[in-house]
Amino acid sequence: MTRNKIYSRKKRYAKEMNSNRPVPTWVTMKTNKKVRQRPGQRHWRSSSIKR
């Protein structure tokens, strides 16, 4: 990717990176292992981000 990105696109990519984090351990323990993944979690290779 180019070094000079449009700010709005860069902001969107940053948001996608933050939302792709795993669920905290305490949440997994509190829900008795029922919640293990975020509903919007994606793999970098299998699905792409909207441009």
Domain borders along the chain are 7-37
* pTM for this model (two decimals): 0.62
Q: What is the DSSP letter of 39?
A: T
Query: What does the pLDDT read at residue 2?
Result: 65
Query: What does the pLDDT read at residue 31?
Result: 95
Question: How does 20-42 read in b/e, with b if 16+ C-beta sit within 10 Å?
Answer: eeeeeeeeeeeeeeeeeeeeeee
Query: What does the pLDDT read at residue 1?
Result: 57
Query: What does the pLDDT read at residue 28?
Result: 94
2-46 pLDDT tens trace: 678 899 989 998 999 998 999 999 999 999 999 998 888 888 899
Query: What does the pLDDT read at residue 30?
Result: 95
